[in-house]
Amino acid sequence: MGRIAVDKDKCKGCLLCASVCPKEAIITDSGLNKMGIKAVKPKEGADCSGCAMCALICPECCITVYK
């Protein structure tokens, strides 16, 4: 099992990470970051596989994957 951590203040809300997640474990947060953008967050109870596709595609490098 894996898990991700998102630096919400660096996220620009492009959702590229969510589009490549095979487990659909990334969703949009309801709150705004310091730039006034809805960032992403890990889905509660999601089964992250730790594949790191989200971190690889993120243009802002704001996702860290833990295995």
Block residue for tokens 């660096």: 10
What pLDDT shows up at residue 1?
85
pLDDT for res 11: 98
* Phi and psi angles of residue 49, each rounded to the nearest 5 degrees, phi first: -90, -10
Q: How far is CA 49 from CA 2, 27, 34, in A?
A: 5, 16, 29
Ordered domains of the chain (ranges, CATH): 3-66 (3.30.70.20)
pLDDT in 10s for each residue of the chain, 67 residues: 899 999 999 999 999 999 999 999 999 999 999 999 999 999 999 999 999 999 999 999 999 999 9
Task: Provide the token pair at 59.
Answer: 């243009």
What gap in Å lies between CA 3 and CA 1, rounded to an integer? 7
Does the predicted model carry a pTM greater than 0.75? yes
Return the number of other C-beta atoms located less than 10 Å from residue 32's C-beta: 12
